């Protein structure tokens, strides 16, 4: 936790918040904070700044805020990801959130196991847990939007072209001839397949609306490795 994320209902009066639970514990036990100390804080979807601890009781911690900076710039990307298995999804949500992804579609693919769509992790509340941990890691406040699209073809045919607008679109495909581009200075749409990759039909569908298959090399990577690798290569 490199930033303490604050919520509307922490606010008890103008520029004053009162915290309980996990964040209070973290400040006392990990940061060893005491009254008078300042910590980096940020208001959910809002500004970043300093919180000065004014009071600590047996179960609360009160801070005065001075929020005066914008959070770090988002990555100019929409990520389109074949739904990973739940254990991987947690890490991918964390990693994508910490790297500044703000829009993420989780889509179906032939190689996505049907059971993954029934995971309780796919509730907004559960996904927010990992997204918010990623924001706290990266000193960010802006919650990524995660959209579930359990049908591949209607999504690609009817919705994805409008999402793409005029942005370049790439689909990561181990063995593609085109190397993954570097240092793009513009908004990009990036699709990443499931373990084992998108099947030919799916690559064909994506190519038909303008996606370019690109590769990071001949090594197939796990999705939790390829998400940070592709984002760091492209931006």
- Residues near a second copy (CB under 8 A) are 2, 72, 91, 94-95, 98-100, 137-140, 182-183, 216-222, 224-226, 228-233
Across 9-31, b (16+ Cβ under 10 Å) vs e yields ebeeeeeebbbeeebbebbeeee
What is the nearest approach in angstroms of a second copy to the Cβ of residue 145?
18
Nearer to a second copy, 159 or 187 (CB): 187
Report the nearest approach of a second copy to the CB of residue 208 (Å): 28
State the minimum distance, in angstroms, from the CB of residue 220 to a second copy.
Answer: 5
What's the CA gap between 177 and 80, in Å, rounded? 21
| Least distance (Å) between residue 128 CB and a second copy | 18
Cβ at position 139, least distance to a second copy in Å: 7
C-beta closer to a second copy: residue 3 or 63: 3
Cβ distance to a second copy smaller for residue 62 or 226? 226
Cβ of residue 28: shortest distance to a second copy, in angstroms?
18
Q: CA 40, CA 232: separation in Å to the nearest integer?
A: 26
* Nearest CA among 229, 150, 154, 222 for reference residue 190: 229
The distance of Cα 5 from the centroid of its chain, to the nearest Å, equals: 15
In the complex with a second copy, the residue whose CB is nearer, 35 or 232, is 232
Of 140 and 202, nearer to a second copy (C-beta) is 140
Which string of DSSP letters, residue by residue, matches 73-130? PPPSEEEEEEPPPHHHHHHHHHHHHHHT--EEEEE--TTS-GGGGG-GGGSHHHHHHH
* Cβ within 8 Å of residue 235, ≥6 positions away: 75, 76, 77, 183, 184, 188
Nearer to a second copy, 137 or 167 (CB): 137
């Amino acid at each position: 936790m490199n930033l303490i994320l604050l919520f509307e209902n922490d606010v008890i009066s103008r520029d004053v918040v009162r915290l309980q639970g996990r964040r209070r514990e973290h400040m006392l036990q990990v940061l060893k904070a005491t009254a008078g100390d300042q910590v980096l804080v940020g208001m959910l979807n809002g500004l970043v700044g300093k919180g000065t601890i004014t009071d600590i009781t047996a179960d609360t911690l009160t801070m005065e805020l001075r929020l005066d900076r914008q959070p770090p710039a988002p990555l100019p990307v929409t990520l389109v990801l074949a739904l990973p298995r739940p254990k991987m999804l947690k890490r991918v949500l964390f990693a994508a959130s910490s790297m500044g992804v703000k829009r993420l579609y989780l889509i179906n693919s032939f190689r996505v196991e049907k059971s993954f769509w029934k995971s309780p992790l796919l509730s907004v509340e559960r996904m927010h847990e990992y997204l918010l941990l990623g924001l706290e890691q990266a000193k960010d406040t802006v919650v990524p939007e995660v959209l579930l699209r359990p049908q591949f073809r209607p999504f690609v045919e009817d919705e994805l072209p409008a999402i793409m607008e005029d942005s370049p679109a790439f689909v990561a495909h181990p063995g593609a001839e085109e190397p993954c581009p570097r240092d793009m200075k513009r908004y990009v749409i990036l699709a990443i397949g499931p373990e084992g990759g998108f099947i030919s039909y799916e690559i064909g569908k994506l190519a038909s609306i303008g996606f370019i298959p690109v590769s990071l090399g001949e090594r197939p990577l796990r999705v939790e490795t390829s998400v940070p690798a592709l984002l760091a290569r492209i931006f």
